[in-house]
Structure 1
Amino acid sequence: MQNWSQENYIKAYKFAAQAHQGQKIPGSEIPYIMHLSFVSMEVIAALSVEQEHDGDLAIQCAILHDTIEDTDTNFDDIKAEFGASVANGVLALTKDNSLEKHLQMADSLLRIKKQLPEISMVKLADRISNLQAPPHYWTQDKIIRYREEAKEIYQALQDASPFLASRLASKIEDYKVFIKK
């Protein structure tokens, strides 16, 4: 039995497409909405196996996870359109740019862990989606740090979704190919 609705998916997708209008995936000419599609696809795959989760919450947060961080959209906009649970999830998935960069991930993981497991699923799916070939302008140090950060996400959130944790572990292993010895 499906634990999410196409209507809620479409509503969130249209909202995100409008909010991210004109944005590209860094280092490419690909519209940013593609990243959100990839993240939500990972979540949908997990929901087909782990049906105990609130699919609508997980999918809407997957599609909207970067709206507060990367657009003019704010918490109140999301709360008004999608409710408090989705807004709180998206806010937890938003980096706190007032913190020094090296503190942001630990803070984010702490806030995510205080949410329902569906929010952790989104963070796992986001990193799975992002562990593709790094942008050409990344240094080896940045690539290594990004992989280490993925391990940190895996350690902190793996219990939320065995399916996504397994996918992330595999992607972390595969990412070694971008590290030059």
Structure 2
Amino acid sequence: MQTYQLSLQNWSQESYIKAYRFAAHAHQGQKVPGSNIPYIMHLSFVSMEVIAALSIEKEHEGDLAIQCAILHDTIEDTNTTFEQIKTEFGESVANGVLALTKDNTLEKHLQMADSLRRIKEQPPEIWMVKLADRISNLQAPPHYWTQDKIIRYRQEGIEIYEALQDASSFLASRLATKIEDYKAFIK
């Protein structure tokens, strides 16, 4: 059997599949809030945004970015621990996922600033995941959101853009467009 090495690709399918399987198991039974869509779809969308950026911005460590994209909600939304991720994927991925995890011990209005501070202490690949996550989330808001919540969510998108845009011009541009388009949901 012949093995092909794509020198232009900065990530491996094996690392993607390993993280995807782990996340699918961890998030089993969860749905995207306000829908019947399996939660793994959100993780697919976030990782797709990261892969699109990596196809243009070759200087990034793709495996770190993709694995963190797929695993970014495991500590926050499942019973998965930092130690489990560290054992399976290494310290860099575990630290990235932990930085992307909201600190629910803080009051809600302090969580974003804390999250962005911790993300900025990580390599740019982790910043990319946060950009991609908000790109993915800036879809039509759930029907039960108030106008105030919609406005705040868009404002958070602007905060994320301003704090992390230097990590990826591709993702920053995508997020800027999504933020602009999100105005349509503000009445």
Q: 2:184 aligns with which of 162, 172, 177?
A: 177
Which whole-Å deviations, capped at 9, do the CAs of 1:105-145 have from their partners, x for residues lacking one? Answer: 00000000000000000000000000000000000000000
Q: 1:11 aligns with which of 18, 22, 27?
A: 18
1:69 is matched with: 76
Which letter maps to 2:54? Answer: L
2:5 is matched with: none
Say whether residues 1:86 and 2:93 are aligned partners: yes
Q: 1:99 aligns with which of 102, 106, 122?
A: 106
1:153 is matched with: 160
Q: Which runs of 5+ in 2 are unaligned?
A: 1-7
Q: 1:134 aligns with which of 141, 145, 160?
A: 141
Question: Separation in 2 of the partners of 1:119 and 1:32?
Answer: 20
Question: Separation in 1 of the partners of 2:125 and 2:113?
Answer: 18
Say whether residues 1:50 and 2:57 are aligned partners: yes
SS at match of 1:102: helix
The Cα of 1:47 is off from its aligned counterpart by 0.2
RMSD across aligned positions (CA): 0.2
Question: Separation in 2 of the partners of 1:42 and 1:140?
Answer: 27
Which letter maps to 1:33? Answer: I
Question: Separation in 2 of the partners of 1:159 and 1:82?
Answer: 26
Say whether residues 1:39 and 2:49 are aligned partners: no
Larger Rg: 2
Question: Separation in 2 of the partners of 1:19 and 1:65?
Answer: 12
Question: Separation in 2 of the partners of 1:131 and 1:26?
Answer: 13
Which letter maps to 1:160? Answer: A
Question: Separation in 1 of the partners of 2:140 and 2:81?
Answer: 31
Question: Separation in 2 of the partners of 1:142 and 1:102?
Answer: 12
What is the TM-score normalised by the length of structure 1? 0.99
What is the TM-score normalised by the length of structure 2? 0.96
The Cα of 1:28 is off from its aligned counterpart by 0.2
| Seq. identity, % | 85
Question: Separation in 2 of the partners of 1:61 and 1:71?
Answer: 15
Moved over 3 A (4+): none
